[in-house]
Structure 1
Amino acid sequence: MRKNAVVLAAATSAALAACAVNVENHAPPPPSTIDAHKLVDARKGGMAMSVAALGAISNGLASKAPTKSYRLPADGLAHFAQSLPALFDPRTQGDAMSKASPAIWSDPAGFAARVDQYGAATERLLAAVTSDDTAAIEAALASTKAACKACHDTYQLNRQADTT
């Protein structure tokens, strides 16, 4: 089990490192210049990365891995949170490959509040990881997962119908 957690953490770290280098070295183009389907693809990729990063931190905590190994996944989550508003460009509304609820665009203030909550939670997680305090990391991880779930419960189509 520990070996699987370490392998997952290493794979996630490598993927996030590539993303972090790209983010730091290149300014992204404005969303209005990117094809809407590519924005949906980027959004879906970011969500998949988030699942992997949250899992890597959870598995690391369970296996008592050094807390410094959580830095890259936590940093990736914080960077992804910052990109969320641009990834939900109005041109992506109704995309057949998206699970985004129309409520994202009909309730922009509510959606923005959820995105802000998630962003704040990821920043607290990053700060906790930096502090090397396992209890703080566990609490911040739980808060990040809760913020993620709260947004999906309200603004993801399949979650609105099935809230179990």
Structure 2
Amino acid sequence: TANALGFLGYACLADGQTEEALGALKKAVRLTAKLKMYQYEGWFGAFLAEASLAKGDFEQARRFAVRALQLTRSRNYRYGVGLAQRALGRLAHARGAVAEARGYLVDALAAFSDIEAWFEMGRTRLALAELAHAQGDPEALAARLRDAHELFRALELPWWVERTEQLAGEWGVPLGTAPALLG
């Protein structure tokens, strides 16, 4: 039940159903904590932080993300560490704390790279591109967008390819036609 609720919450979040995501993820986190499934509590806690951020509740997002990072770090669960760090990075970006955001996002990218979590690497590169755009750093923006685009193409994820192309168009970044390779 806990895992089903966690994945339901993630699906709702991905679909933009923030309230439904919050409800399912809060239940998932409570259940995993009660069952002492701390790795899952951290994993779903990172999603809960993202849902709280989507709702605009920065304090709650930070609380969930910090707890998720503590739980996943203590179990050396690199995937969960990356999710929590990315949530903290996106939160810092939303608060205008650029250096803090970059630090968390770079650390998240390293965590995902360590375990070859290609999709999450692409999503984190997009978050870094958004940060570079907000800072007015065209070189970093272009590099991050191109890296994300290449990765999503290699993974054959059309929605993410289109999303990256949409952002590149909005921001005036040519993506080029480099071969889509992993690695």
Shared fold per TM-score greater than 0.5: no
Structure number with greater CO (CA < 8 Å, separation at least 6) is 1
- TM-score (ref. length: structure 1): 0.37
TM-score by length of 2: 0.34
